[in-house]
Structure 1
Amino acid sequence: MPAQKTRILATLAFLVLLLFSPLGFSNGQLDTSFAGGKTSTFFPIDATGQRGATRVVKTLVQADNKVLLISNTPTPFGSQFSGNSQIGITRLNADGTPDASYGANGQLLLDAGVDFEVEAVDAALRIDGAVLVLGTMYGPFNESDMAVWAVRPNGQRDLAFATGGLLRIRRGGTPSDTAGAIEPYDLSLNRFMIAGTIRDAPGDNRNLMHVILFGDSGTLCAVAECGNVVGGNVGQPNQWYMLRFFLNLDVQVADLAAELRPEAAVPLRVRTLLRRAIPDSQGNFDTAIIATSFPSATNGYGVDPEFDGDGIREFFFTAQPGFRHNTGNRLAIQRQGSTSRLIAVGYSANASDTDPSIGVAAFDLNSGANDPGFNAGVPLSFDYAAGAIHGDAYASDVLPTPDGKLLIGGGYEYAGFTFGDAALVRLNANGTFDNTFGSLSAALPGRAGFGHTLAGSDRDNRLDSMALAADGERVVFGGYAYASDDGSYFGSAMRVRLHAGDLLRDGFE
């Protein structure tokens, strides 16, 4: 059959599919070429066959479309501490099957020895495909330090990174430091920004800290561009450099975003999202973004006063009466030609931190002003209401896509008062819902929900993080699922189509 006729028939078949498919939606559906659309649930297993609850904190997609899922796995694993924890990395092939070349069942485990509890918070890919996992090491005497593990693409620790593949960011004394986020800002030089919190003594407020990591060697930047000199022993003979941001409140780092424009007068801008940052006189919690840059008015790397006048921007997703908690969970930078904007997502909730609604806000990256091109300059707040379902929802991740749109992921109330399904929303650049995407109902465009049955039992399935496939036309998301029959937590991963045009590439796929 001539190629042109084949293409015409494929187009007609596609139009018929649109006509008779629910709502006419052809994207926002599970990608069946990935383990049927969703993996069977997984959990790391050690050599003795023990298993532990798996909570995915980061999803990454390699250039070859293999998927990395970084998780926290509290389990005994023969440790002297009954609650000792390890960090799990699960790698799946492009078709969703476990990658046996990465370890037993496609999984490996990271720890810091029996004297430490470890907790992963974030991860990033190095230019050579190695993964850098950021976490916190909790010691036996109530001290804690940030730490980075480096794992090569073959599943082995990168022995050339720091000490045997593990960097412990250790200050002098007995500090209480916790990791927050890691972000590559110049992969050509393997430079990564790390944000965390530091506490010098019990009872002190936690303050924001940034350090710059050379991801290939596991050393911290020790040149003037990296900030203010602070004395401390990090396992190296030299002093280390960092930015220390003092606030008259206790901070918690939610996420970090960085943009490098070498041609600009201010080439590096960094934005740090603080979760539940500042309570007002009414006890309402808002969210704050801290802006830093290189260079800055404070010389070298420091506060960026161009951002809202003093480097701090506080905001609410909604000012609706009674919604007192506004919590930021993730940041992303969306380039729009010669300018960029900052997208923050999370949720707003009532005074008891229940009845949440998804929150999305957009700001000018440089000035911190509300972006008038997004929802007329007002943050967007919405539920997943559908029929008799209440629809409470929250956002845990955001991804700008190559077509200029935004993907918002999280969880929503499928039935009763639990977050029963993973939520995936696609917004147009102006903040309106993309009516070519979704699966809930005609009255709820741009919104899709994805469940994950566990051995036939009830499930509570959430989207915790997501990443675009290498072609930019599919999104992989990881999270955890809860089985109500035995109280177990399992990891899960799904892949979803983003573009209906996939169906017309070389005919039907």
Structure 2
Amino acid sequence: MRRYRDCTTLLLAAALHLAPPPLAARDGVPDPAFGNHAPGVSIIDVVANPAISIDMARAVLALPDGRLLVGGTSAYASNLPTALSLVRLDANGQRDMAFGDGGKVLVTVAPGVVLQRLAALLATADGGLRLLVTGVVGNVSRLWLCHVDAAGVVQGACVELPAPPGLSFRLGRAAAVLDDQGRIVTLAPIILPGRGLSVARWQIDGSSDTSFGNGGAITITRFDELAGQASNNSVGDVKIDTQGRIVVAATSELHTTSIPVPTFAAARLLASGQPDTTFGDGGARLVPTSESLDATALALDANDGLVIGGNRLVITPTSPPVLESEFALARIDVDGDVDVGFGDAGLRRIVFRSGMPPDDACAAVIIQPDGRIAAAGHSRAPGSTGGFDLAIARLWPDGRLDEGFGNAGSGRFIGPIDLADGFGNLDAIAAIRWHDQHLVAAGYARSGYDQDEFAVVRLRADGLLDAGFE
């Protein structure tokens, strides 16, 4: 009888090992308890207008009670400027009509602003929000800080954040984070003989913290140490680590050949704003590679190591030339050394669909509490209609794809929303968060001509019956 039971146990174990887990239990599939459009998916038309309603989410915050704050921009009339827009969703993905004006908040930044973009959505200790905004007035790039309280009421006018003395901001990505004292640290592009970056710190009201750096800011002119060469740098992201140090990710040119190659770069500053010379090479690290890399995101692990997310770019010499793009991630340890055990000598590239030229773009990256890494953005949809689908990949800490995640155990979630009929679908993720054993991602989906909506998706990510567990 004992031998029979043992054989039965072995057969059962083998069956469980070989059979894929039930769809409802697999990680990386939409959570059926969330959504107003489809299981796991909420679509929000922030300002309904049949003529023009272009709502594009760029940020998402997960509140302790399970509600979500989603922020971006909305263009909703041909004779009105684009506004910053916020919505709040309840824990089930339904629009919270108690927030702001009928479930939405629209913020006018300043007169004459064009090309405005929500660069960061920050939650303050009192439940309020700070919005870092980039825009252009009269051909001059500027930064603003706007304040919205917990109920969704705009608090006064947006405050302009001045560039460091003698310098000017330039158009491009910007980023911000709050430190443990509630101060705002910004990373923004500035005009130099090359293209530099400015790291500045501000009090919660938007006034400059003059104790930081050199009178409130520090300028990064280059990440390499080659004398006389000015690098061209662009913003990736900025975070605060467990020691209160400021960690910067960027794209920077690597001057090792006659033609500079853009690559991932990282720098770490002390809380005072001065370079942390214990990190990398004098406070900075470039990822050595012959690939062209563009950094867009940054995540810190529990040991203050970092993962930079972005894209590998290749121009194929066809006629006409074709730009190929695929997810790329690099891992750098707490000392500023590239983790050569991650991916291929420190760099992990991810293609979402085989059999077609890669056209994928990574916009966000996050590290789960268990150490697994999720990277999110969009992937080119197959077929003649074109367009893009939501895309998320999950990796083990060493860069291997987590085969217990996503569509058919591929390590990848590909989520077509496909609202637009005949207009080409434009589905993309711009931000991702971890909340209550789930991955929550926000972006946008095209629903028609001059019609785009906020899109929010929630995926299971708790590891239950995870085929990738080892």
Q: TM-score, normalised by structure 2?
A: 0.82
The yes-or-no answer on 1:242 pairing with 2:217 is yes
Hey, what does 1:155 align to over in structure 2?
A: 152
Whether 1:498 and 2:461 are equivalent positions in the alignment is yes
SS at 2:31 equivalent: coil
- One-letter amino acid of the counterpart of residue 292, structure 1: R
2:445 aligned to which of 468, 481, 493? 481
Structure 2 residue aligned with 1:198: 190
Following superposition, the deviation at residue 494 of structure 1 comes to 0.9
- Secondary structure of residue in 1 paired with 2:464: helix
Residue 311 of structure 2 is matched in structure 1 by 347
Distance 1:176 1:371, change over 3 A: closer
Q: Does 1:447 align with 2:447?
A: no
Contact 1:55 1:71 in 2 (8 A): yes
Distance 1:94 1:18 in 2: 35
1:424 is matched with: 392
Choose 339-348 or 245-254, whichever is displaced more.
245-254
The match for 1:253 is 235
Q: What is the Cα deviation at residue 73 of structure 1? A: 2.5
CA drift of 1:397 comes to 0.9
After superposition, give the CA deviation of every residue in 1:19-70 in whole Å (9 maximum; x if it has no partner).
4767896221101111143445334328x98743122211211112211121
Q: Deviations over 1:405-456 (max 9, x none)?
A: 11111111230484521111111112111122121x45xx311111102165
Partners in 2 of 1:17 and 1:494 — Cα distance? Answer: 29
CA contact under 8 A between 1:62 and 1:129: conserved in structure 2?
A: no
Displacement of 1:170 in angstroms is 2.4
Match of 2:178 in 1: 184
Paired-residue identity, %: 19
The question of 1:325 aligning with 2:292 is answered yes
Distance 2:75 2:259 in 1: 34
Match of 1:265 in 2: none
Alignment partner, residue 228 of structure 1: 214
Q: Is the 8 A contact 1:344 1:360 kept in 2?
A: yes
Name 1:37's counterpart in structure 2. 39
Offset, 1:91: 1.4
1:405 aligns with 2:377: no
1:436 equivalent among 404, 418, 432: 404
Structure 1 residue aligned with 2:103: 106
1:207 matched to 2:207? The reply is: no
What CA distance in whole angstroms lies between the structure 2 residues aligned with 1:69 and 1:176? 26
Cα distance in structure 2, aligned partners of 1:281 and 1:53:
43
How far the C-alpha of 1:290 sits from its partner, in A, is 4.3
Structure 1 residues 275, 245: closer, same or farther in 2, change over 3 A? closer
Distance 1:77 1:422 in 2: 28
Query: How far apart are the structure 1 equivalents of 2:39 and 2:17?
Result: 19
Query: For 2:61 and 2:282, how far apart are their aligned partners in 1?
Result: 34
Give the drift of 1:199: 2.9
Segment drifting more, 451-460 vs 473-482: 451-460
* Equivalent AA in structure 2 for residue 210 of structure 1: V
SS class of match (1:430): coil
Q: 1:341 to 1:173 in 2, by over 3 A?
A: closer
Q: Which ranges in structure 2 are unaligned for 5 or more consecutive residues?
A: 1-11, 223-229, 316-320
Conservation of the 8 A alpha-carbon contact between 1:44 and 1:109: no
Match of 2:268 among 292, 303, 327: 292
Q: Matched residues in 2 for 1:430 and 1:43: separation?
A: 40
Indicate the residue corresponding to 1:310 in structure 2: 282
How many angstroms apart in 2 are the aligned matches of 1:424 and 1:390? 18
1:386-419 Cα distance to aligned partner (Å, 9 max, x none): 4x55554232111111112111111112304845
**What is the distance in 2 between the residues matched to 1:390 and 1:142?**
37
Cα drift, residue 373 of structure 1: 4.5
Q: Which residue of 2 aligns with 1:264?
A: none
Deviation at 1:256, TM superposition (A): 0.9
With the length of structure 1 as denominator, give the TM-score of the two structures: 0.76
Residues 282 and 23 of structure 1: CA distance in aligned 2, closer, same or farther (over 3 Å): farther
C-alpha deviation, 1:111, in angstroms? 1.6
Shift of the alpha carbon at 1:184? 2.0
Moved segments of 4+, more than 6 Å: 15-18, 22-25
Tell me how far apart the structure 1 counterparts of residues 260 and 218 of structure 2 sit (CA, whole Å): 29
Aligned partner of 1:275 in structure 2 is 251
Cα drift, residue 205 of structure 1: 3.7
Q: Does the 8 Å contact 1:284/1:325 carry over to 2? A: no
**For residues 453 and 493 of structure 1, what CA distance do their matches in structure 2 show?**
14
- Structure 1 stretch displaced more, 305-314 or 93-102: 305-314
What's 1:381 paired with? Answer: 349
Q: Does 1:131 align with 2:100?
A: no
Question: Residues of 1 paired with 2:420 and 2:250: CA distance?
Answer: 38
Q: Is the 8 A contact 1:143 1:174 kept in 2?
A: no
Could you tell me which residue of structure 2 aligns to residue 94 of structure 1? 91
Report the number of matched residues. 434
Residues 100-146 of structure 1: per-residue CA shift (max 9 Å, x gap): 1113452111122332233212222112222211112422x322321
Match of 2:434 in 1: 468
- Residue 167 of structure 1 is matched in structure 2 by 159
Q: 1:232 — aligned with what? A: none
User: Is contact 1:60-1:68 (8 Å) kept?
Assistant: yes
Tell me the C-alpha RMSD between the 2 structures: 3.1
Query: Given that residues 350 and 356 in structure 1 are in contact (C-alpha distance below 8 angstroms), is that contact kept between their aligned partners in structure 2?
Result: yes
- Write the letter of the residue equivalent to 1:70: G
Deviation of 1:275 after TM superposition, in Å, equals 3.2
CA contact (8 A) 2:251 2:263 kept: yes
* Structure 1 residue runs without a partner (length 5+): 1-11, 159-163, 230-240, 262-267, 504-509
Partner of 1:394: 361
Please say if residues 292 and 301 of structure 1, whose CA atoms lie closer than 8 Å, have aligned partners that are also in contact.
no
